């Protein structure tokens, strides 16, 4: 399900943080029951490669909407000094905690349940939002809360919004929403926000484009803060 870029839906099936959390809690429970760990999806893998090329060693990393912690773990294994993960889903945070514990890297990680658009965020070298911006109707609030936390790098992935790919992204989200509804999976709305608008906010906040890529119908971007 989607809305026009910049418009906020009030009748979203996931109108509260609790409903969003239940949606992803159910997904985690389903995967755990099936003992399924499919690994990163292609878009996350592409973002991970872009970040690895920048050299995470010694960096502090904040991932908003960290899910089960796969990307954070990869960066910690590559030498990141400290990692912080925030997610609305308690089940995701529990799974991420277990993942870091098994990797014997839990000591350098702080994981918590919270809303990325509202929770107080400490500054980190890197801030990452992988397939997270599209979950928020109020993208302005999310950007306003998260951009100041990035000292060096701000990286994100979002559905493409322009041309035939934008049309296809909106159609895909409608189909996925209808399918989840049919299966009673408590579907959440997905918002195809105007990528140009997001990039304008990046420039206004003092960031310049460092890396841009495309994977299917997804836009990948890594921004670097300019000298103050």
Establish if 211 belongs to a structural domain: yes
Whether residue 2 is contained in a domain is answered as: no
Residues 157-166: tens digit of each pLDDT:
999 878 887 7
Instruction: Give the pLDDT mean for 106-122.
Output: 94
**21-52 confidence digits (pLDDT tens):** 665 656 665 666 666 666 678 899 999 999 99
**Confidence at residue 109, expressed as pLDDT on a 0 to 100 scale:** 96
Q: What CA–CA distance (Å, rounded) separates 217 from 2?
A: 15
Contact 78, 57 (CB under 8 A): yes
Is 51 within the bounds of a domain?
yes
Residue 170 has a pLDDT of 72
- The answer as to whether 9 is a domain residue is no
136, part of any domain:
yes
Token pair 């609305």 is found at 88
- Model confidence over 76-85: pLDDT tens digits? 999 999 999 9
Picking from 43, 41, 110, 46, the residue whose alpha carbon sits closest to that of residue 72 is 110
In a domain, residue 89? The reply is yes
Is 50 exceeded by the pLDDT of residue 13? no
As a whole number of angstroms, the distance between CA 69 and CA 89 comes to: 12
Range of the domain at 143: 17-225
Up-side HSE of residue 7: CA atoms within 13 Å toward CB?
A: 10
Q: Per-residue pLDDT averaged across 167-173, rounded? A: 76
User: Is 40 among the domain residues?
Assistant: yes
Q: How many folded domains does the chain comprise?
A: 1
**Per-residue pLDDT at 69 exceeds 80:** yes
Is residue 43 domain-resident? Answer: yes
The residue that leads in pLDDT, 15 or 8, is 15
Pairing state between β 60-64 and 124-130: parallel
Phi/psi of residue 37, nearest 5 degrees: -135, 85
User: What CATH number did the domain enclosing 170 receive?
Assistant: 3.40.50.150
């Amino acid at each position: 399900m989607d809305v026009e870029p910049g418009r906020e839906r009030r009748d979203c099936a996931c109108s509260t943080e609790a409903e969003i959390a239940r949606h992803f809690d159910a997904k985690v429970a389903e995967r755990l029951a099936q003992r399924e760990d499919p690994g990163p999806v292609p878009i996350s893998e592409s973002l991970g490669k872009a970040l690895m090329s920048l050299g995470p060693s010694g960096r502090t990393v904040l991932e908003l909407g960290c899910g089960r912690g796969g990307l954070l773990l990869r960066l910690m294994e590559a030498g990141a000094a400290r990692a912080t993960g925030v997610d609305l889903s308690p089940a995701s945070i529990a799974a991420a905690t277990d993942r870091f514990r098994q990797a014997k890297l839990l000591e350098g990680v702080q994981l918590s349940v919270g809303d990325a658009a509202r929770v107080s965020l400490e500054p980190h070298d890197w801030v990452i939002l992988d397939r997270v911006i599209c979950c928020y109707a109020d993208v302005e609030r999310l950007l306003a809360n998260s951009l100041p936390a990035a000292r060096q790098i701000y990286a994100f992935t979002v559905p493409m919004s322009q041309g035939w790919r934008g049309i296809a992204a909106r159609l895909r989200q409608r189909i996925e929403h209808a399918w989840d509804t049919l299966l009673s999976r408590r579907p959440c709305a997905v918002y195809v926000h105007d990528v140009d608008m997001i990039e304008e906010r990046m420039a206004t906040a003092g960031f310049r484009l460092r890396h841009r890529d495309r994977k299917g119908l997804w836009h990948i971007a890594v921004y670097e803060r300019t000298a103050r």
